[in-house]
Amino acid sequence: MTDSLKKRVLARFQGIAAAAVLVLGAAATAARATEPCGDFGECKTLIEINATDGDIGFHFLMDGDDLISAWFNDPTGARVFRDFARGPLREQKLTETFAESAEPLCWDDPEADPDEEIVTLEEFLERWAAGTYRFRGQGEDGEKSKGETELSHALPAAPADVGFDGGVISWDAGDDLGNCASFAELNDLVAGGVLPVHPEDVPVAAWEVVLEPDVEDGDPTGDLVFSIRLPGDVAPRAVTVPADYLASLPDDTPVKVEVGAIGLDDNATFSEEDGFCVNEVEGCEEAE
């Protein structure tokens, strides 16, 4: 996951803006961390899928006050994560902890390293059970913090037909999870009780639309990201990229477009398209 995407993930947890994020409409703020979360200011667990790359991950956040340790358990009661403050951090205390799992492939990508781990959607959902995740924290004097949040297996379908004509980003509602699971495979998972509902039928609370320069690591142009969040019922499904933003990019800047469907429970599925060129003069070269 790129640094800019990490910032956007954290922004979705917190319900605030990052980079050039704009939030329009009440529906766009529906998906956010559990606030308050018992003694914690907020907490959240969610599933994120990159339908284009075909990978899947588990993310969580907890935000407490003056903690020296924090942890959480899954619905079976098993400890999943624990964080300790030591040295100067123990003196300063912990507040917010945000982390994400590795994102293994959920399909047999023929271009992937043969040793790359594959975790199918069904295996992932078995690993990360739906239900109540209980967060705990401890202060320096032994005071305890408690809170809980729900993880849902309602996964929104991947946006389809993502396009960019040089000024407008457009997309359609999808009906599958891209490389993670086809429409037919999802039907089987619903019939088998693995999924509570077909992703095609999961309401979208918000669309997250991102245009990002597709440049080499270390190129400062890569930090010039345009991102906007729109209500799930926006029509048409399109957004105009500000001309001033596009003009700020150098000539011949390759860009990629990412559109995410964010469900009411914060689970998100993203689709990506690259190969676009902004301010074309001599033509764009792909980043290595």
Instruction: Count Cα neighbours of 109 within 13 Å in the Cβ-side half-sphere.
Output: 19
Residue 226 Cα to chain centre, angstroms = 16
What confidence score (pLDDT) does residue 42 get?
94
Parent domain of 198: 160-278
Is residue 220 domain-shared with residue 117, that is, in the same domain?
A: no
The token pair at 287 is: 């980043």
Distance CA 47, CA 63 (A): 19
Of 146, 33, 143, 147, which is closest to residue 93 (Cα–Cα)?
143
Is residue 123 domain-shared with residue 203, that is, in the same domain?
A: no
| Model confidence pTM above 0.85 | yes
Is residue 188 domain-shared with residue 270, that is, in the same domain?
A: yes
What confidence score (pLDDT) does residue 195 get?
97
Domain membership of residue 9 (yes or no) is no
* Domain endpoint, select from 151, 184, 206: 151
Max CA separation in the chain (angstroms) = 64
Is residue 76 domain-shared with residue 142, that is, in the same domain?
A: yes
What confidence score (pLDDT) does residue 232 get?
97
Of 170, 247, 258, which is closest to residue 214 (Cα–Cα)?
258
Is residue 130 domain-shared with residue 166, that is, in the same domain?
A: no
Distance CA 20, CA 16 (A): 11
Instruction: Write the pLDDT tens digit of every residue in 134-171.
Output: 999 999 999 999 999 999 999 999 999 999 999 999 99
Cβ neighbours, 10 Å, residue 138:
17
Residues 6+ positions from 251 with CB-CB distance below 8 Å? 279, 280, 281, 282
What confidence score (pLDDT) does residue 249 get?
96
Domain count of the chain? 2
What confidence score (pLDDT) does residue 32 get?
59
Distance CA 277, CA 255 (A): 6
What's the average pLDDT block by block, 10 residues per block, for the chain (288 residues)?
47 42 40 82 96 96 94 96 95 93 92 90 97 96 94 98 97 97 98 97 97 93 95 96 96 97 96 96 77
